[in-house]
Amino acid sequence: MSYNVGSLFAGVGGICLGFKRADERFTLSFANEMDREACKTYSTNFNHNLIEGDIEKILDPNILFRERDFLQTRFTDLSNVELGKYNYDEQLIKDCIKSLNDPFFVSVLMKGNFDLTDSLKKKAAKFGYDEEALKEFVEYQLVKINLENYSDEKLNPKVEEFRLKNDEIKAERIDVLTAGFPCQAFSIAGGRKGFSDHRGELFYSVINLVQQLDEVGHGKPRVLFLENVKNLVSHDDGNTFKVIKSELENLGYTLKYKVLNTYKYTNLPQNRERIFVVCFLNKADAEAFGSFEKFPELKRTREELKQSLKEILDYTITKETNPELYYTREKYPQYFMTEEEFLKSGKNEWINLDKDIDEMYEVYQVRRGMYVRKNQSGVCPTLTANMGTGGHNVPLIKVHDGVRKLSPKDCFNLQGFRVGTEYSFPHNIKSSASLYKQSGNAVSVDVIELIAKRILKAFLKVDRELTEEDVVEVEQPVLEKPQLSLFNLVDGELTEKEIQEANRLGQSLLEIKELLLDELYVITSKEQLEELRKKIMIKLSESL
């Protein structure tokens, strides 16, 4: 038996890889992603159907007509405003257009959420520009630019393209629908705007697809697998998660959820807390899955964590092979100040990376450009999407010939992608900054694998019990005397004591079998395998 998996907001395929790695009975049916660079990476590593594009428009292509009507009306309104009275700095306007003209611009504008970023507001203030007037001028320029994409010649083929993709995405029955829907709207770094941020509203694409799959006759997916930042639970005093939970329950799903930290449940040494929500359409599946509390935490010493970093990070990189990764005095003089320079600088904090980053197999960060901090847990701090842009989010390590930041390969491997053996980078990727963004937006594959194995175990338990043969097996847990031939005990009659001993041994073997069925699908580390071995030995010692 196989189970079809469909993936929304697939990114570079972390969730897909976790299910693929969990068991061959999970069949990847389709994936959807709109980021072009992420799609390049995804296509390099998977052969199944990647449906590129905005999922909202794929599910409702008529959105494009509504967007055109809105832009035309808005263009007319702004054309009547006196916009030419300000002689704005040309470079500032270019910066505004580059920063604000993203794929969601029209959606944001339609919902009344369009605004300048904080950095653009600061630039406007330096020029002494009126903020609202500048915003209106920039909006007009963006509306004019975007309207060019809504001519009949461009729009009609686009609508037809989305309609064909709508057919593709609903072509098969889906057993597990996964969605790592955009988390920036709920993260601290993203401003925690929630549903007031268009990215937060993309959750409803999951609801929409579930309903459409049901309407075409495939039925609702048996499981919905959702992942997001841990702040999703606490956002807006918990009201955001209440809405999400209510919407899913109204579809008929039972929810199981928990915030898991990557390094506490896998061998990946990264401090990454994410909420995982597994939604079951069938109560039997939910009961068979059990509780997230059953997931065993790994107890590792700092030395064991350092060993994991040593094995995962590439310490063969040198300043000669990858000079772009190294922090040097020539590139960052403010981070290599001598004591004399510090005393003359008048600064309150003294940073010298050669002095502050002094231990191998540890991970450091420059915080706010003011001080260096070694991660207190002995692992890598949470990888973020803006690592490639510099700043305090860049993890740094001491190597044999200096101090360097993590490479894109390091970051992907810390997420469990196993670059070079199981996973590859595309040859036509735009820049390393794009790879840093992709790894920061990705999931920890090993955590996905852990949960996917538990989902599979639930499926197999429920589906197996539907057969008559397996029901009989469950109903006969104790060995009786006629079955003693299983132990090749064929010479003569056994004493009552010997029969009792054989029954006790048989019972222990059945208990070990149940133990294996319960635990084997969630083993992802040597430590968990050793723990299972101990449990089996205890069972055997009790019966012998």
Which positions are annotated as active-site residues? Answer: 183
Please count the other Cβ atoms lying within 10 Å of the Cβ belonging to residue 222. 22
Please count the other Cβ atoms lying within 10 Å of the Cβ belonging to residue 294. 11
CA distance 540 to 513: 12
Q: Is 90 helix (H, G, I), strand (E, B) or coil?
A: helix
CA distance 107 to 89: 27
CA distance 535 to 524: 17
DSSP states of 437-495 as a string? HHHHHS--HHHHHHHHHHHHHHHHHHHHHTSHHHHHHHH--S--GGGGGGGT--SSPPP
CA dihedral 247→220→34→43, nearest 10 degrees, is 140
Alpha helix (H) ranges present in 1-62?
14-22, 36-45, 55-59
Let me know: does 114 contact 146? Beta carbons within 8 Å: no
CA distance 407 to 383: 12
What stretch of H or E contains 322?
Answer: none
CA distance 88 to 135: 12
Residue 294 tokens, joined: 């059953």
The C-alpha angle 94, 95, 98, rounded to 5 degrees, equals 85
CA distance 343 to 482: 90
CA distance 440 to 248: 27
Please give, one letter per residue, the 3-state secondary structure of 419-436. ECCCECCCCCCCCHHHHH
Please give, one letter per residue, the 3-state secondary structure of 395-414. CEEEECCEEEECCHHHHHHH
Q: What's the count of helices (H) and strands (E) in the chain, helices before strands?
A: 24, 12
Q: Where are the beta strands (DSSP E) in 180-253?
A: 223-229
Residues whose CB falls within 8 Å of the CB of residue 389, separated by 6 or more in sequence, listed in order: 433
- The pair phi, psi for residue 373, each rounded to 5°, is -125, 130
- In the numeric block, the tokens 């590859």 are attached to 424
Strands 223-229 and 273-280: antiparallel
